Amino acid sequence: MPYRTPTSAVRHTSKFGENFILSFHPSIASTARVARMVILKFLLFIHIIITSATTHNDGRQFVSREQGGNLKRSHVFMPKQTKKANSTDQFRRKLRLPHFAKPRHYEIHLYPNLISSTFSGVVEITVEILDHTHFLVFNVVDLTVNHASIHFKDQAPNKVVFFKDDQIMVIGFGKELQLGEGVLCMQFNGTLNDDMRGFYRSKYQYKGKIMDMAVTQFEAVNARRCFPCWDEPDFKAKFKIILVIPSELEALSNVPVSSEMVSGPIKTIQFEESPLMSTYLVAMVVGIFDFVEGVTSQGTKVRVYTEVGKSGQGKFALDVGVKLLDFYNDYFGTSYALPKLDMIGITDFSPIGMENYGLVTFHVPDLLLDESSSTPNKQQEIVVNVAHELAHQWFGDLVTMEWWNHLWLNEGFATWMSYYAIDYLFPQWNIWIGFVEGTISTLRSDSLAGSHPIEVEIHHISEIDGIFDDIIYNKGGTILRMLQSYLGTERFQKALAAYIKKYAYSNANTEDLWDVLEAETGEPLKDYMSAWTKQPGYPVINVKREGKGIHLEQDPFSLDGSSRSGLWDVPITLSCASSTKKFILKQKYYNLDSCGKQEKDGNFLIKLNINETGFYRVKYDKEIAAKLQNALETNMFSSVEKIGIVENALKISVARKDTLSSLLYMLYAYREEANYIVLKHLIDIISVVAKVSIDATPNLAGEIKQLLIKVLQSPTVKLGWDPINGEDDHDASLREMLLVSLVELGHNKSINEGVRRFYALIHDHNTSILSPHTRRAAYLSVMQIVSSTNRSGYDALREVYKNSTDMEEKLRVLGVLLSCRDKDVLLESLNLILTNEIPNQDAVHVLEFTSIDARETTWNWLKENWDRVLEVVPQSDLLWCIVNNIVPLFTSNDKAEEISKFFTNYKDPKFQTVLKRNLNDVLISMRWIDGIRSEPELAQTVHELLHKA
């Protein structure tokens, strides 16, 4: 927003004004500078009181924002002399602020007005001049700065320039600034925005009313939207915050309250001085709250703040938070640095959580738990969220990355550390499976053209928000886990404790981390790890038997066939027969002459990447793969390793580094699998294989589906259709997934049973023959036999939709309507979107579960009826549904080009990013199909496995 020059201050005095001044500065006569700033703050306070909306309907009184004239971009405020050419342009278009001056201490006075959604403030920044300069350069955006109020060391600047694109203000002085410390003072105004960044407003309920609260979210570069500052991570300083708010409200910040003074409708809250920290970690919240409280073993007070009346929903997070702080204190060997830790749920909040030092903010659903309706999955989600943000109190807050290209030192560490802590506190959860699922997703994205290194290059501050992605979080976390696995738990812990101790209250970069770890472990880790952080991608390790030993070879892995280069020092963990080995694969090739005690038949089982701790893929030769399959059938591996093995087999096949036949052999080895998490992953892979077979080998697709059915039959038979007494939520969810998968694969027995149960439900609505978890499978079964000449089941489903008052049931019906092969029925279902039978807000659910048989009909109908559909379905919902649910069903280059052209005019960057990613998936599928078609032994493999006992 443009800068404005405020109106003249109103001169007014009172006894309250004297107390107000003294509350900030007990010894105001110590220097002329202090006296001047006290008077400025006092006059500002009186002015905003006079100009404010005096009383609202609930009796609250607020300050208001000053108004004034516009200051256009790059306009120069020069009361004493004319502008010298290019005197300030030297600071333009720079990624970083100059380091000839550094802030050491901020004193910030803020007056938020929740009626007008504005705020006013005064800041005093103790700045140390480190080199010769006539200028101070700092960050400002979306603030109105009172130029007449700017002073440094009792000097008024002769130049004030704002460069909007660079988000900086440059102030120049007539004479060179003396080395040493001085205080920079200024007054400013801003808006409590609705953008969920900077100092903004959110909603909450209080006594049945919707109220506004003031909240901060400063990461990555948004502190400058609240107060002028050096808004970069390595400009750490101490902060003293004073908030002037209506007396009935409360305020939170990073540190405890040091004093509170109430004078009528106004309350002045001073907080203690903070430790050294970066601006993006400063936090404030103003509103009315409840809280629950606990204390750690070291005496740290922990609170979870909620809306009034909902404090019970914070008890779970509180209990977890106390345990986690105790764990982290022990692990790092450095105690939590603040006397308190607050966590609060915010209704309008963009990230899941934000690790503000001592005041961690969360989106409400990601912190609070209604235990009366909670599930184990929801509990785990909250624990992961809390563990991640509390790990940041050390990795990020106490030790902060030097610049945003080292963001992984914050987010990668917090990702790995949170799972490590949870596994210690809740070993029964087997939480590492969740971590590995994140690794699997990131292995995929990092194998595509356009990926980026962990140490991502930043060219402009506008790019910073975009680097918070799975490469930073999951790849960063996985390479740490890989390193821990190689070094050993105790060595790694000791080294990290030394790193934390050395850089506490300071900043570090990636090289600093490797230096400390090298010194503590004696390993040349900088050599080992540089390639992992400085180049994109990762290797695939090819493993072959050679006599009594094995031969390893690494190649860059590419899922999409793009040309890639690179060589990594790969920390290999390997199990061989009854022994394990660890070593660094430094070259492209490596021969391991012996691998442990051989089995009686002269062969032995080889498995790389123990517990899936490494960030690489593995391709085994046929002999080793056959041994792995035998081991899978005898249940020799952990759940996490089972997932890793089959995921490797899938992606190696998709990348055309191995055959679909090899993948089918591996899938067949899972036919007796019973673990919920493994089967969930297996079902996803089976769905992918079934879909690709339709286009790759249409003559063989039916037999491939029958083979996939054979893989899933055993666990399905064990669970059956009916709930079992004493079963948990996982069993019910698994039953639904298995039955739906078998129906979609065309399993006649499951389809017939689903149809039978559906008609039993139609004839007796009170029957328990279909539980909520089996209804989707039954409804899908009906749609498999529906046609334009046999539509009784279709009509019955439509009646279920019309008569049901249960929204979940209604959406369940809508989600199966595009699951038949009859084109006339499909068109009838699509046309329902344009009728009054389906409310507009539900119409998009018809499209969400489009089957592969319906893809062409659905896409052509959408093109022909596009404008009419947009009148019914919100554009954003329609676009996201198509790009995520329909586009991936296609497998041809022509279709990818057609879709891309159709959406050319939809310019939203996020939409185009997702569209590009999913169109790339179409091309990957097309490439995989070409490889499958060239497999000479595929039919023989399918027939062999189908008839295998």
Cα–Cα distance for residue pair 27/452, rounded to 1 Å: 55
Cβ–Cβ < 8 Å for 533, 455: yes
Give the type of residue at 543: V
Would residue 154 be called left, alpha or beta, if left means φ above 0 and alpha means ψ between -120 and 50 degrees? left
Q: Which residue has the tokens 């929204």?
A: 807
Count CB neighbours of 806 within 10 A: 9
Degrees (nearest 5) of the Cα angle 902, 904, 905? Answer: 105
Which tokens belong to 434?
A: 């969740």
Name the CA radius of gyration of the chain, rounded: 32
Cβ–Cβ < 8 Å for 234, 281: no
777 prior amide bond cis, ω within 30: no
Cα–Cα distance for residue pair 306/291, rounded to 1 Å: 6
Which tokens belong to 400?
A: 């902060």
Cβ–Cβ < 8 Å for 357, 340: no
Give the type of residue at 44: L
Give the type of residue at 597: K
Q: Which residue has the tokens 């309706």?
A: 373
Give the type of residue at 259: S
Task: Specify whether 828 is catalytic.
Answer: no
Cα of 688 vs its chain's centroid, Å: 25
Query: If you count them, how many residues does the chain have?
Result: 949
Cα–Cα distance for residue pair 685/665, rounded to 1 Å: 13
Q: What are the DSSP calls for 793-829, one per residue?
A: HHHHHHHHHHH---HHHHHHHHTTTT-SS-HHHHHHH
C-alpha closest to that of 20 among 1, 2, 47: 47
Cα–Cα distance for residue pair 203/213, rounded to 1 Å: 6
DSSP single-letter state for residue 625: H
Q: What are the DSSP calls for 428-467, one per residue?
A: GG-THHHHHHHHHHHHHHTTSTT---SS---SSGGGGGGG
Cα–Cα distance for residue pair 816/779, rounded to 1 Å: 7
Cβ–Cβ < 8 Å for 359, 252: yes
Cβ–Cβ < 8 Å for 20, 6: no
Classified as helix, coil or strand, 343 is strand
HSE on the CB side for 765, CA within 13 Å? 5
In sequence order, the β-bridge partners of residue 399 are 395, 506
In the set 250, 389, 520, 673, the catalytic residue is 389
C-alpha closest to that of 731 among 666, 676, 687: 676
Residues 6+ apart with CB under 8 A from 288: 204, 206, 211, 248, 249, 250, 308
HSE on the CB side for 349, CA within 13 Å? 24
Strands 589-592, 549-556: parallel, antiparallel or unpaired by DSSP?
Answer: antiparallel
Cα–Cα distance for residue pair 342/570, rounded to 1 Å: 41
Q: Which residue has the tokens 């050294």?
A: 276
Which tokens belong to 779?
A: 């409804």
Which phi and psi angles does 457 have, rounded to 5°? -80, 135
Q: What HEC string does 631-658 produce?
A: HHHCCCCCHHHHHHHHHHHHHHHHCCCC
Residues 6+ apart with CB under 8 A from 944: none
Task: Give me the active site residues, please.
Answer: 389
